[in-house]
Amino acid sequence: MNLQAETPRVVLASASASRRAVLEAAGLRFTISPGTVDEAALKQKAQADQLDAADAALLLADAKAQQAARRDPEALVIGCDQLLVCDGRWFDKPANRDEARAHLRALRGRAHTLVTAVLCRRAEQPLWHTVAQPRLTMRDFSDAFLETYLDLESRFLTMTVGAYRLEGPGVHLFAAVEGEHAAILGLPLLDLLAFLRRYGVLTA
């Protein structure tokens, strides 16, 4: 029995290894077509326009989806974005180890939200979107632990917003986690699968 129809082709407009793993684990067939969106400029514009984090994440997700949809207008394209928000501050991916250390110190002992948007479109037509907002609380870890963690995750610190991988050693940073695990990894999977069933991509 096939879970997925032959058409339309499904394209993930993201280079995220975590999002790819989430879709692969769910048994979906898809190709990857990441874009070159100027995320910093779009975030600055969103803040200048006084958009909230959810609308900003959707704006970024759609910008990525549009690029992939122009390259393959027959495909169903999945665009995604995730913003980390703590007490109103939006965090970007750290550029280096020093920034990762500073981000983790700022988040230590506090709760933050991962505003996680997914948007599907075909060609010029947006079809569906949703935003999940998992909430995570970091424990009050020591500076010594932080340095050990930075050593352990040195190759991955600049790859994720927040400088952690919850599916990896980053789980040791946390005291509490609320929300769908897949959404924390960057893709609200249950809502996406429900849409794909309604749209005929997956068998009902």
Question: What does the pLDDT look like over 65-118, one tens digit per residue?
Answer: 999 999 999 999 999 999 999 999 999 899 999 999 999 999 999 999 999 999
CB atoms within 10 A of CB 74: 11
Local confidence band at 1 (pLDDT 50, 70, 90 cut-offs): low
Cα-based angle 82, 135, 78 (whole degrees, multiple of 5): 30
For the chain, the domains span 10-198
Query: 153-169: per-residue pLDDT in tens?
Result: 999 999 999 999 999 99
> 10-198 domain in CATH 1.50.10.10?
no
pTM: 0.93
Helix (H/G/I), strand (E/B), else coil: 128:
strand
CA 99: distance to chain centroid?
20
List active site positions: 81
C-alpha to C-alpha distance for 83 and 106, rounded to whole angstroms:
16
Mean pLDDT across the chain, nearest whole number?
A: 95
